[in-house]
């Protein structure tokens, strides 16, 4: 069930959008901000609130890769794998992250601390390789910097 706060935020935003369909992504992002991901139950609640079908919402969520439809860890690390980061060694960064966290890309650590996901360009190409954790950008990643960054998240 949507929380009162989630419902309030969505209803407030509705006034900014021309119709409820246009609110699909924003409403799922609001739920995700509160819960980390968008469950089937949340999708059903949003469907009732917005008067849209669950299938339509799910279709949007599938297409828009920033909507997470599976549970995630306490922190979500998004590792850029686009061209500049690839040139600057994002594969090395990925390997070190996977090894330090003990999870493959796309996975969640056994202790639920991190989910590690790939993402397209984060807009920090001049300081590649880069990743984003819980909305905070971390740039110029090398072996030492990766460990320093990870240590900031419990």
Q: Which of residues 85-124 bind ligand FES (CB under 6 A)?
A: 85, 121-124
Q: Which stretch binds ligand FES (CB under 6 A): 8-16, 58-66, 83-91, 140-148?
A: 83-91
Using the minimum distance from each CB to ligand FES, give the nearer residue, 122 or 146.
122
Q: How far is the CB of 67 from ligand FES (least distance, A)?
A: 21
Using the minimum distance from each CB to ligand FES, give the nearer residue, 60 or 125.
125
Can you read off the two tokens belonging to residue 144? 């030492």
Q: What is the DSSP letter of 22?
A: G
Taking residues 34 to 73 in sequence order and writing x for each that binds ligand FES by CB under 6 A, - otherwise, the string is ----------------------------------------
Residue partners of 55: CB distance under 8 A and separation at least 6:
none
Using the minimum distance from each CB to ligand FES, give the nearer residue, 10 or 78.
78
Q: Can you list the positions of beta strands (E) in the chain?
A: 75-80, 114-119, 131-133, 136-138
Sign of CA dihedral 90, 96, 100, 104: positive
Place of tokens 């409403």: 27
Using the minimum distance from each CB to ligand FES, give the nearer residue, 55 or 83.
83
Distance CA 22, CA 145 (A): 40
Q: Is 128 in the site for ligand FES (CB under 6 A)?
A: yes
Task: Kindly state the number of chain residues that form the binding site for ligand FES, as judged by CB under 6 A.
Answer: 12
CB 117 within 8 A of CB 76: yes
Q: Is 141 in the site for ligand FES (CB under 6 A)?
A: no
Which of 36, 28, 139, 35 shows the shortest CA–CA distance to 79? 139
Residues that bind ligand FES (CB under 6 A): 80, 82-85, 121-125, 128, 130
């Amino acid at each position: 069930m949507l929380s009162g706060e989630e419902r309030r935020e969505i209803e407030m935003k509705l006034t900014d959008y021309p119709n409820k369909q246009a609110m699909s992504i924003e409403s799922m992002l609001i739920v995700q901000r509160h819960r980390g991901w968008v469950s089937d139950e949340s999708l059903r609640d949003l469907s009732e609130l917005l008067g849209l079908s669950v299938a339509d919402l799910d279709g949007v969520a599938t297409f828009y890769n920033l909507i997470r439809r599976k549970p995630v860890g306490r922190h979500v690390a998004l590792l850029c794998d686009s061209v500049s980061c690839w040139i600057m060694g994002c594969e090395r960064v990925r390997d070190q992250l996977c090894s330090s966290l003990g999870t493959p890309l796309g996975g969640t650590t056994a202790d639920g601390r991190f989910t590690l996901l790939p993402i397209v360009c984060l807009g920090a190409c001049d300081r590649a390789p880069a990743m984003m954790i819980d909305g905070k950008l971390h740039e110029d990643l090398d072996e030492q910097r990766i460990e320093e960054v990870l240590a900031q998240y419990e």
